[in-house]
Chains A and B, each alone.
Chain A
Amino acid sequence: MSVYVASILTNMALISFLALSAYLVLVVGVVSFGQQAFFGVGAYVTATVTSIYGGHAVTGVFIGMLSGAACALVLAILTVRLSGLYFAISTLCFAELCRLGLLQVRAPFDIDGRTTGPDGPEGFSNIRWIFEHNYSVQDFLVLTTVCLVALLGLLFLLERSRIMLRARLVGQDSILAQSLGLRPILYRIVFVTLSGGVAGFGGGLFALFNTYIEPNMFGVMLGVHGLAYAVIGGLGAPIGPLIGVAIDIGLLESIRAISAYRMIAFGGLVALLLILLPQGLISPRFVARMRRWRKLFHV
C-alpha cells in the first residue's frame, strides 16, 4: 500500500473519532459545534506528555483522552440549563475559547537540540514519537484502525445495553423520558463526557500521526465537518458516522478531478440528502427494519 493511500486512510480513521464523538452527543438530542475543542485538547496533552515529558504514546493518548473527557464534563455541567440552539452556540463559544487560549500559550522547550512544546500560533512541532520508535505510515494505519475497531466494538456493546436505549429516549423526547423517571440532564452529562473522551483519544492519535499541530487546525470547520458526517451517516448505529466520513474524504477527495470543487459537491450532497433522508443514511428506523428482516430469515 502506498504512503499516500495509507495516509488518506489514517486521516479518515482519525476524523472518524471526531464523527463518533459528535454522534454520541447527537444521540442524547443536542447538537455540539465544539467537538474540535476536545480533539485539540487531547492532541495538545498527548503531544506534551510524549515529547516534553518523554512519556510512552499509550500513556500520552490515555491522558489526552482523560483531559478531553474532563473538558467535556466541565462544559456539560456549565451548560446544564441550556437547550437546543443555546447549547450549540455555547459549545461553539467554548471551542473558540479553547482555540484562542491555546494560541496564547507560549512555552517552547529545547529537547535534544530541537524546539518542541506549544508556541502560540507557531504550533507544537517535533512530536517525534513515531519516528523514534520506527513506526511507518502503514504501521500507524494498522494501529489507528485497531483502535477504531475496538471503539466501535465498545459502542456496539453499549448499543445493546439499556443505557443507550434510555439515552435514545432522552434524545427523542426528553419530557417522556422524564415522566418515565429518567433524568435527561444526567444522560446528557454522561454522554457529552464520553464524547469528549472519544474526541480526546482521536486527537491524541492525530498529534502522534501529524507530528505537528497548531491551534488553528482545531477551528470551527473541523468540528462541524465531524458533525456533518454524523448527521448524514444517521443516528441508527455507530457505523453511520463512518459512512459519512467515507463519502466525503474517501469518495470526493480521492477522485482528483473534482477535488477542487469538493466542497461544492459535498455541501450540495449533504443538503439534498437531508431533504430526502432527514434522519441520515442509517436512521434508527432503518436499523429497526433491518432487525425485523433478520428475524424473518433466521427463525
Chain B
Amino acid sequence: MDFVQTNIDGLLAGSAYALLALGFSLVFGIMRQINLAYGSSLLVGAALAVWLEPILGLGVVGLFLLTVVACVLAGLYVERLCFAPNRGKTGATVPMIASFAIWMQLDEVSSHLLPSRTHNFPGLEIPPMFFGDLYLRGDQIVQFVVAFTSIAALYYLIYKTRFGLLLRATAGNAETAFLLGAPTGRLRLMTFLLAGFLGGISTFLILSADGQVTPLFGLWSTFKGLIAMMIGGVGSLPGAVIGGLLLGLIEAHSSTQFGAEYRDITTFGILFLILIIRPGGIMGVSAYRTGRLAQERI
C-alpha cells in the first residue's frame, strides 16, 4: 500500500514538473535555446501578484489571473532583452548567459518585492480525499487535472491549428519558414508568451499547494523544469510530460528509500547518467541527432 501511495505522490508532484518542463521544451523546441531566466520570471510574476493582490483585493481568482498576467509580462521582458536582440549573432551561448544575468536581476527584484523570507500564498481550500488507506490531497488532484488539461490544450494548439503549424515550421527550419512568409520573429515572441502563460498556471498551482512563496522558488522551478526536460527529451513535448512524471516518481521513491537528503543526489545522478549514456533524453534522441548531424556536416 505504501508503494502505491508513493507512486501516487510522485505522479501528483510530477504533474507540476511536467508543466514547468513544457515551458522549457517549448522555448528549446522552437528556438534551440535555453531560457535560464524562466524560473525567476515565474518567481517575479508570483511576487508581483502577491504584492498587488492586497492592494487590489481581488481574492483567489484575482490572484490567479494576476499571476498568469505577470508571468506572461515577465516572459515578454526576458524575450525582448535576452533573445530578440541576440538572434543569429553568436549561437546559443550569448542568449543563455544574458538570460542568466536577467535571472539574477529578477531574483533580486523579487526579494525586494517579498522582503520577509516566506509569504503566504492563499491556497485552494479543497478537502483531501481518501480511498481506503490512500490519501489524496485535494489541491494536488486539481493540479494534476489542470496540468493535463493544459497539456491537452497545448497539444491541440500545436498539432491542430494554423498557428501551431507555423510554430512547427519555425522549429523545423527557421530560415525556410521565414522565406515562405512565416513571421518568425513574432512567432518566437509568441512562444515565450505561451511559455509564460503555462508557467503562470503552474506557478499558481504549485504555490497554492505549498501555501507560501519564498525567493528560492526561482532556482527551484528552473532546476525542476530543466531536469524534467533533460530526462524526458530535449525539445519534445511528450518527452517533457514523461520527464516530469518520471522526475516526480524518482524523487518520491528515492526519498522513501534513502531519506530526503539523498533525493537530490539521486535526481542529479540519474540526469548525469542519462546525459552520458543517452544525451537526447528518453524521447528527444531525434532532436539531438539532427543537431549533431547539422554540426558535423561540412
Select A266's contact among B92, B104, B271, B292, beta carbons within 8 Å. Answer: B104
* A175 near B97: Cβ-Cβ < 8 Å: no
Cα–Cα, bound, A89→B291 (Å)? 16
A contact residues, total (Cβ < 8 Å): 42
Residue of A nearest to B89 (CB): A278
Contact A263 B34 (CB under 8 A): no
A145 within 8 Å of B by Cβ?
Answer: no
A212: shortest Cβ distance to chain B, in Å? 22
Q: CB distance A83 to B98 under 8 Å? A: no
Residue of A nearest to B107 (CB): A263
Asked if B165 is an interface residue, CB under 8 A from chain A, the answer is no
8 Å CB contact of A31 from B85, B96, B107, B279: B96
Which single residue of chain A is at the shortest CB-CB distance from B295?
Answer: A83
From B85, B272, B291, B296, name the one whose CB has the most chain A CB atoms within 10 angstroms: B272
Interface flag for B86 (CB, 8 Å): yes
Query: Taking CB as reference atom, which chain B residue is nearest A272?
Result: B81
Closest to B269 in A: A97
| 0 or 1 for each of A261-273: is its CB under 8 Å from B? (1 = yes) | 1111011111100
B90 within 8 A of A: yes
What's the Cα separation between A4 and B70 when bound, in Å? 41
Task: Specify which chain A residues have a CB less than 8 angstroms from the CB of B262 in the assembled complex.
Answer: 104
Does residue A96 face the partner (Cβ distance < 8 Å to B)? Answer: yes
Residues of A within 8 Å of B271, CB to CB, are: 89, 93
> CB within 8 A of B261: which of A81, A104, A175?
A104
Instruction: Confirm or deny: B145 has a beta carbon within 8 angstroms of a beta carbon on chain A.
Output: no
State how many angstroms separate the Cβ of A78 from the closest Cβ of chain B: 6
- CA separation between A88 and B226, bound complex, in Å? 12
Size of B's binding interface in residues, CB under 8 A:
46
User: Does B298 sit at the interface, judged by CB under 8 A?
Assistant: yes
* Secondary structure class of chain B's binding surface, majority of residues: helix
Partner of B279, one of A82, A231, A278: A82
Asked if B94 contacts A274 (CB within 8 A), the reply is: yes
What are the residues of chain A within 8 A of B279 when measuring CB–CB? 81-82, 86
Q: B108 near A: Cβ within 8 Å?
A: yes
Complex contact B93–A271 (CB within 8 A): no
**Pick from B100, B264, B292: contact of A228, CB under 8 Å:** B100
| B153 at the A interface (CB under 8 A) | no
CB pair B86 A267 closer than 8 Å:
no
Which residues of chain B are within 8 angstroms of A31 by Cβ–Cβ distance? 93, 96-97
Distance to closest chain B CB from A74 (angstroms)? 12
A89–B86 contact, CB under 8 A? no
Instruction: List chain A residues, Cβ under 8 A from B265.
Output: 97, 100-101, 104
Bound CA–CA A267/B93 (angstroms): 16
The interface residues of chain B lying within 8 Å CB-to-CB of A86 are 234, 275, 279, 288
Point out the residue from B108, B230, B234, B268 that lies within 8 Å of A267, measured CB to CB.
Answer: B108
A266 surroundings in chain B (CB, below 8 A): 101, 104-105
Please tell me if the beta carbons of B86 and A228 are within 8 angstroms of each other in the complex: no
B109 CB–A CB distance under 8 Å: yes
For residue A274, which residue of chain B has the nearest CB?
Answer: B98
Does A84 lie at the interface of the complex (its beta carbon under 8 Å from any beta carbon of B)?
yes
- In the complex, which residues 270-293 of chain A have their Cβ closer than 8 Å to any Cβ of chain B? 270-271, 274-275, 278-279
Main secondary structure of the interface of A (DSSP, over half): helix
Q: Considering the complex, give the chain B residue whose CB is closest to the CB of A120.
A: B261
A105 to chain B, nearest CB (A): 12
Q: Judging by beta carbons under 8 Å apart, are A89 and B230 in contact? A: yes
Judged by a CB distance under 8 angstroms, whether A213 is at the interface is no
- Complex CA gap A31/B296 in Å reads 19
Q: State which of B93, B98, B109 has its C-beta within 8 Å of the C-beta of A264.
A: B109
Q: Which residues of A contact B86 (CB under 8 A)?
A: 274-275, 278
With A90-B276, A97-B272, A271-B98 as known contacts, state yes or no: A84 contacts B92, CB within 8 Å: yes
Complex alpha-carbon distance, A267 and B111, angstroms: 15
A97 and B296 alpha carbons, distance in the complex (Å): 31
Q: Find out whether the CB atom of A267 lies under 8 angstroms from the CB atom of B102.
A: yes
Tell me if A2 counts as interface (CB < 8 A to partner B): no
Residue in B closest to A30 when the chains form the complex, CB atoms: B93
Q: Is B283 interfacial (CB 8 A cutoff)?
A: no
In the assembled complex, the CB of B280 is this many whole angstroms from the nearest CB of chain A, namely 8
How far, in angstroms, from A49 to B106 measured CA to CA in the complex?
Answer: 40
Q: Nearest chain A CB to B199's CB is how many angstroms away? A: 19
Closest-CB distance, B91 to chain A (whole angstroms):
8
A179 within 8 A of B: yes
How far does the alpha carbon of A221 sit from the alpha carbon of B92 in the complex, in Å? 20
Interface pair B105/A268, CB less than 8 Å apart: yes
| Residues A175 and B295 in contact, CB atoms below 8 Å apart | yes
Residues of B within 8 A of A90 (CB): 272, 275-276
Chain A residue, CB-CB nearest to B34 = A85
Q: Is the CB of A228 within 8 A of B276?
A: no
Beyond contacts A231-B93, A268-B101: 10 other A-B pairs, Cβ-Cβ < 8 A, are A84-B91, A84-B291, A85-B234, A90-B272, A104-B261, A228-B101, A263-B107, A271-B81, A274-B82, A275-B86
- A-B residue pairs in contact (CB < 8 Å), sample of 20: A31-B96, A81-B279, A82-B276, A85-B234, A86-B288, A89-B271, A89-B275, A90-B272, A93-B275, A175-B298, A179-B298, A227-B97, A263-B104, A267-B101, A267-B104, A270-B97, A271-B82, A274-B94, A275-B86, A278-B90
